[in-house]
Amino acid sequence: MEYGFWNKLRRPFFVLAPMADVTDAAFRRIIAKRGRPDVFWTEFVSADGLCSPGRKVLLKDLKFTRKERPIVAQLFSSHPDKMREAARLVAKLGFDGIDINMGCPDKSIEKQGAGAAMIKNPESARAIIRATKEGIVLARKKIPVSVKTRIGYNENQIETWIPQILEEGVAALTIHCRTRKEMSLVPARWEHVREVAALRDRIAPQTLVIGNGDVKDLADARAKAVEFGADGVMLGRAIFGNPWLFSELHTKDGKPYVPTLEERLDTLVKHTRLYEKLLGDVKSFAVMKKHFKAYVSNFVDANHLRLQLMECHDSKGMKREIKAFLKARKASDTI
């Protein structure tokens, strides 16, 4: 089994979750400059799409910079031949690892037999893992393969589902502590990470176990890693509006960096500009707006400014609104 960078990480380590239309190339660059995680993940990308004429558009989701290393490309598919070809392509692009999504509950993904649907078809899941490894070999590369999944489909299937993955020899296994049926509607049950770790110890001792679900910040992540025996922790929603989430990994005092309001709003503008530059020709500006509420919150008149920004159609308009807001705020403070 190839472990690559995984064996070089400190324990516990902290990684950025793959989130569709969130952890895109633009946001990852913003995060990398403000406190990078131990490992970056891309958004999940269709392996089938990478083997189609639409490849050119999808390749934009796989753009990355040196400052984002180590970075893992996440793929999904239920077709071994497509996954093999896509893994070959991704390996040649220079990624540090490939992760297979076996937990996404999106119905359009499941209809393809991918994502969480894999839990119902272990034989297909195993074939996909093997095909991914074969594609990497065809690319003449040596990078590790990992999997992200859930504890089961309609119920806890850890004892039957997780061994199927571990027996295929993956470098890391991220376990989202809910079933597919539960989506994110119930609290994540981290005691299941301990169950997975126990299975790992028996079946594949070298595989790293990463816990995922409802992690508030790095302090919470550290506590969960210790209590439940995770080698690493994946953080997702906590990154919204807070590209400084991982900053304490790089500060001398080990404390998170707290930006000023001006820094937060300036970062929002820079984030939006990058989005326009890197993805504006293939993605709607409306996708970027999901970040507005996260950045623009918890200060006086935040709702008013957010409503103004939601009417904007580009970063230039946003910059004008923010400049006017800060000017008015400063004037009111001097009265």
Q: What pLDDT is recorded for position 331?
A: 82
Reported confidence tier of residue 185, pLDDT bands at 50, 70, 90 = confident
CA distance linking residue 105 with residue 150, whole number of Å: 10
Peptide bond into 187 cis (omega under 30): no
Q: What is the pTM of this model?
A: 0.95
Q: What pLDDT is recorded for position 88?
A: 98
Comma-separated ranges of CATH 3.20.20.70 domains in the chain: 4-249
Reported confidence tier of residue 253, pLDDT bands at 50, 70, 90 = confident
Q: What pLDDT is recorded for position 251?
A: 87
* Largest Cα–Cα separation, the chain: 70
Task: Name, in order, each residue with C-beta under 8 angstroms of 225's C-beta and a sequence gap of 6 or more.
Answer: 11, 12, 211, 231, 232, 233
Lowest average pLDDT, out of 51-65, 84-98, 187-201, 235-249, goes to 51-65
Contact criterion met (CB below 8 Å) for 107 and 156: no
Instruction: Tell the CATH superfamily of the 4-249 domain.
Output: Aldolase class I (3.20.20.70)
Q: What pLDDT is recorded for position 217?
A: 96
Give residue for tokens 């406190």: 35
Asked whether the predicted pLDDT for residue 232 surpasses 70, the reply is yes
Q: What amino acid positions are annotated as catalytic residues?
A: 104
Q: What pLDDT is recorded for position 186?
A: 92
Peptide bond into 70 cis (omega under 30): yes
For residue 204, the one-letter residue type is A
Calculate the alpha carbon distances from 103 to 46, 77, 292 in Å: 14, 12, 27
Asked whether the predicted pLDDT for residue 57 surpasses 90, the reply is no
Q: 66-69 long-range contacts, Cβ below 8 Å, gap at least 24? A: 67/29, 67/32, 67/33, 67/36, 68/28, 68/29, 68/32, 68/36, 68/40, 69/40, 69/96
Asked whether the predicted pLDDT for residue 208 surpasses 90, the reply is yes
Reported confidence tier of residue 334, pLDDT bands at 50, 70, 90 = low
Lowest average pLDDT, out of 110-114, 164-168, 266-270, 280-284, goes to 280-284
Asked whether the predicted pLDDT for residue 192 surpasses 80, the reply is yes
Q: What is the CA radius of gyration of the chain?
A: 20
For 58-79, the pLDDT digits (tens) are: 999 999 999 999 999 999 999 9
Q: What pLDDT is recorded for position 335?
A: 55
Burial environment of residue 160 by CB neighbours within 10 A (0 to 12, 13 to 18, 19 or more) = exposed
3-class DSSP state of 6: helix
Asked whether the predicted pLDDT for residue 319 surpasses 70, the reply is yes
% of the chain with per-residue pLDDT over 90: 93
